[in-house]
Amino acid sequence: MAGNSFKQYLIIFISFSFIQSQNVLKTIPIIEELGCGNCHSGVNVSTILLNRAPDLSYAGLKYNEAFLFDYLKSPQKIRYNIGNSRMPNFGFSDDEALALTKYLMSRNILPDGTSIQSKSIKSNNNGFDLIHQEYQCTACHTLNGVGQLKSTDLNTASVRLQNNWLYDLLLNPDLYVPKKSPMPKFFEEGDLNDEKNITKMIGFLSHISKDKMIELERELNKSKQKYPKISKKNGKNIFLSQNCQACHKMNGEDNWFVSHNAPDLTAQKMKTKPIWLMNYLKSTPPIRPNGYFPGTGSRMPNYNLTKVEIEKIYTWLGKGNLKTKFKTISPFQSQKVNKLLNDHYSCLGCHQLNGRGGKIGPDLSNVGNRLTDGYIKMAIEMPHMVMPESIMPKIEIPQNLLPLVQSFLSNNKNNNNVKYANLISTPPYKIDNAYKSNCAPCHGLKGDGFGFNASNLDVSPGNFTDGKKISLRSDNALYDTIYGGGRIMNKNHFMPPWGQKFDKKEIVEYVSKIRKFCECEPPDWSKN
């Protein structure tokens, strides 16, 4: 079988395969297509995206740098044959996008047995007929206003992809295109006529992309001049902190998150109010500015969901049945609770309230808009039961004051302007031990008191590297401070009491950690 008849047969086969694939896609729940379970617990992990999302192991050989920079800031739909799957918007700033671009452009691990050869391809205005008529690529692709948008748009092919990559892709589609794709193999390596035609086709695609490439490269160069110190190391941390490997393959790189980096969705409707949840799915504003696990910098991206998609997700999340309802408290009672939170309890060591406090946990200024009364009650009284992975300790609040605190938070519905921490100025880190999770946000990775949350506090966290000061404190004093919080030792009340979360052995280990930081012994009088 050869010539036009063969090509026509392929086109019929491709069209049939596309229709079949679309029928399959329609049966997949949107929660799986979006890959929610790849980051959230309480949802089945999806293997769909691992087949659909591009392999980034060789991104530096595949993509144009200027395109990557632009795309990371504002992802656009590229492939139209993957159902509801899409690249979400992480809201990267220019410096964050530049860092991630540099990292991805450094990746060049190709599949075994493959290599990208350098080809001399010149921009030309001839080649449309080859694409449209000779090989009938427009049966699945659009180009110059003709064709079918069943796959990628060829008008932007040379914007996205390097010419050498395009050449090898057309020559060997089976190496780079998912196995279930109907992308055919038209060309044979070593056939001079085929190779000449490929060169003409790519030259034409390059020609029509010229102006767009100039525009994108101009913006990239502006950012490079503005942020000359940005490195691929910064980008690597961003790639890992956002759990990109949950969807994209990346050979030669360890994953920061073994399981997930986002909240459990099992009881989401018990936790959040319906109106808030529906609005959240529209725009996904920050809740934990420094990541679900503090310090990791993980973000909930915006999927630009349609109204119908939001309704489907909301329905999938099930029902809530926490019927607890708090009464409105008086202005006097509200002032009393506000003072307790600001000056007595340790809540503002981690949470913001009306512009004051830490940025580890969610802002409390409008928590009444987000959380149900039942969940607020449980989160305060039993934090480790409803949030087993959270660093939040249990705060001992007197029984006569507990309902007032709960009601205060329930009725706290002020506006806030929470923003995600910049991933360059506040570098994310991997949580691989208890100190990094619980202590480093304030006391710093090196114990020097310069954790990412330190700048948000009225009083600087303790500097464990100050051997002169720490050597004056007994191990018992350090133990009691960790167990009972700063207030019990006449220190700052923002230091939480960890005694309800850590057992004796764990607290002793933290004391030993502090001794290693200070490289000092306790005072002699305390050793007996």
Q: Is residue 327 part of a domain?
A: yes
Integer Cα distance of 402 and 385 in angstroms:
18
Q: How far apart are CA 89 and CA 92, in angstroms?
A: 8
* Continuous segment of H or E residues that includes residue 316: helix 307-316
Q: Is 207 within 8 Å of 263 (Cβ atoms)?
A: no
User: Residue 269: what pLDDT?
Assistant: 86
105's CB contacts (< 8 A; 6+ apart) are 59, 60, 63, 65, 68, 232
Average pLDDT, the chain: 90
Range of the domain at 450: 434-526
Same-domain check for residues 181 and 145: yes
Residues 415, 438 within the same domain: no
Of 116, 120, 124, 5, nearest to 62 by C-alpha is: 116
Same-domain pairing of 413 and 438: no
125, 81: one domain: yes
Token duo for residue 448 = 């020097």
CA neighbor of 137 nearest in space, from 7, 254, 328: 7
The per-residue pLDDT for range 17-55, each reduced to its tens digit, is: 343 334 333 446 888 889 999 999 888 888 888 778 999
Query: Is the same domain home to 229 and 99?
Result: yes
Q: Are residues 11 and 70 in the same domain?
A: yes
pLDDT value of residue 23 = 38
Q: Are residues 177 and 289 in the same domain?
A: no
Is 121 part of any domain? yes
- Neighbouring CB atoms inside 10 A of 74's CB total 10
- With b meaning 16 or more CB within 10 Å and e meaning fewer, what string describes 470-481? beebebebbbeb
257 within some domain? no
pLDDT attached to residue 178: 62
- Does 26 map to a domain? yes
Residues of the chain with confidence (pLDDT) below 70? 1-28, 178-181, 528
- List beta partners, residue 371: 272
Please report whether residue 227 resides in a domain: yes
pLDDT at residue 467 in the model? 96
Number of domains in the chain: 3
The enclosing domain of 465 has a CATH number of 1.10.760
Distance, in Å, from the CA atom of 405 to the CA atom of 322, rounded to the nearest integer, reads 19
Specify if 429 maps to a domain: no
Do residue 18 and residue 148 come from a single domain?
Answer: yes
Provide φ and ψ at 146, rounded to 5°.
Answer: -125, 160
The distance in angstroms from the start CA to the end CA of the chain is 93
Same domain, 365 and 442: no
Check residue 84 and give its pLDDT: 85
- Using DSSP's 3-state secondary structure scheme, residue 152 falls into strand
Q: Looking at the structure, do residues 108 and 138 belong to the same domain, yes or no?
A: yes
Can you give the CATH number for the domain in which 275 is found? 1.10.760.10
390 inside domain: yes
Task: Return d(Cα 528, Cα 525) in angstroms, integer.
Answer: 7
pLDDT of residue 179: 59
The verdict on residue 382 lying in a domain is yes
Q: Is the pTM of this model over 0.85?
A: yes
Non-local (6+) Cβ contacts of 302 within 8 A are 88, 89, 90, 91, 283, 284
Q: Do 242 and 288 lie in a common domain?
A: no
